[in-house]
Structure 1
């Protein structure tokens, strides 16, 4: 087969879906630090840190080729990995921000034995000399040989999952299971969040995204009467995920992912899960409002759907 023919038959990997599915793998969060040529500390947030080898002790991280710090790391002979604790989410955001010029301003840190910046109160730190660098697609992979390491005082790691920190999702999950999250608060959150997403979707969604909402409604209506609880939970989650995707707002989509987790917990531990054919027209009206780009109608149907769900 020719190279041209092979290229044509190669499966298409849609970038947005690829990124979304990669997010299904929970990772820790680290701040990678080094020194600029004039000795100033530099660093960035990273969740691509991984171990490579025990003998010799090797670790790696990958850096976008478009990163402003790529040349700094390419010119450095050493770097440090700072593993963030759960309470250090603000540090993660700080070192990930492109709007903060001096990332280290107000941040406690000490130079390590190799002179690399070690951030205070991290779970663990590794000072590494550069072992190898490899270009890989739109990233550069840096492999470091660990020269010094130390444990910090924290107990829980900051975890990144599906584009969001797990702290909020886990806290909400516990509140739901313990019955401490009020129904009125949850309903108001759903109305506000998904009402906004519906209005955005009416402006921004393409035909495929509108069809995805309609397909989700079809799937719910197609359930047999003896469908399992898990199947019903998945179908309900799919409906709300489709609305979130159609809104084309990454920040709201992350919030929606958290709320989907709340929905799953409520349907698993709190709400009765059974066939509700009386709700079919309401979901269908949400989809119809979207298809007509009638935001008021779609939001009104969603409000009624949430109200009827509460009545059980």
Structure 2
């Protein structure tokens, strides 16, 4: 008896990231000190415990990160676990546009000399126990030498591209009917119309291709049982537009809108297939690819208008 080897599709990077986002993670700021004594740090959600004896933790850092040599040379680092009220700090230390991440941030030196951020849930000061290369990242395993309990607040949690406490609040607003369709449509027109105009100037062809692939996915998942895939494809469509606009503040707003979209499609809107709007999504991509800012925004407006003319699906 012979067996056919099942075909395994190649891992698509964007989908890989989306599916990894299904696992909620805490958020931490990993800090260290430069050779000339300046504090340095970045936002991280790859923190994990490793061992109790000895007490080991880890985080991973992109090899392309400008801070990789600093962490390697320092030999020490701190993990500062953020509370839900420190989402601004998370954004600050994740931004590539802020040169001095510590400006205006309350912090102190720990016993090992690494920066400890005030009001975190907990801080762990470590020496580097081991380093391992892993694909496009470097894994740092640290031996905890000093730890500090902190704020009794709840943790800041990241889930599917949004902070979880925010997503939970939005879910309640959606279920309570406090986010009306007209208000949501106006918000989508304003936010994504602006992002499309920016994308017409700033987006690469690869980013436009990503938007078109999301449209392909929406059209492929039209069965009644394909609602979860259709929701993710719709979220990817709007997320890809946000990324193509290259504006971090608007991207943050777009992540909030994407969280609302998921809840509305799953819980409020009867999301039946809507092949009548297929050409309108395509028109958005066509106008974007032609770098027609007014045309792309107008196509989005037309898409939303037709979609809402019969509130029975997506």
Query: Which TM-score applies when normalising by structure 1?
Result: 0.77
- The count of aligned residue pairs is 293
Q: RMSD across aligned C-alpha pairs, in angstroms?
A: 3.4
- Whole-Å separation in 2 of the counterparts to 1:261 and 1:292: 26
Q: Give the equivalent residue in structure 2 for 1:5.
A: none
Map 1:1-312 → 2, pairs under 5 A: 12-195=10-193, 200=199, 210=212, 212-213=214-215, 216-217=218-219, 219-220=221-222, 223=223, 227=224, 231-232=226-227, 234-235=229-230, 238-239=233-234, 241-242=236-237, 244-245=239-240, 248-249=244-245, 255-271=253-269, 273=270, 275=272, 280-281=275-276, 283-290=277-284, 293=287, 295=296, 298-310=299-311
The answer for unaligned runs of 5 or more in structure 2 is: 1-6, 288-294
- Whole-Å separation in 2 of the counterparts to 1:237 and 1:66: 29
Moved more, 188-197 or 49-58: 188-197
Residue 302 of structure 1: CA displacement?
1.1
Q: Which one has the largest radius of gyration?
A: 1
C-alpha distance 285-15 of structure 1, shift in aligned 2 (>3 A): closer
| Secondary structure of the corresponding residue to residue 188 of structure 1 | helix
The answer for unaligned runs of 5 or more in structure 1 is: 1-8
Deviations 1:220-255 (A, max 9, x none): 3xx4xxx46xx4465355345335536734656665
C-alpha distance 80-180 of structure 1, shift in aligned 2 (>3 A): same
Query: Are the equivalent residues in 1 in contact too, given 2:126–2:143 (CA < 8 A)?
Result: yes
Query: Which TM-score applies when normalising by structure 2?
Result: 0.77
Query: Are the equivalent residues in 1 in contact too, given 2:211–2:285 (CA < 8 A)?
Result: no
Moved more, 108-117 or 49-58: 108-117
Deviations 1:131-167 (A, max 9, x none): 1112223222111111121221232111223333334
Query: Are the equivalent residues in 2 in contact too, given 1:163–1:254 (CA < 8 A)?
Result: no
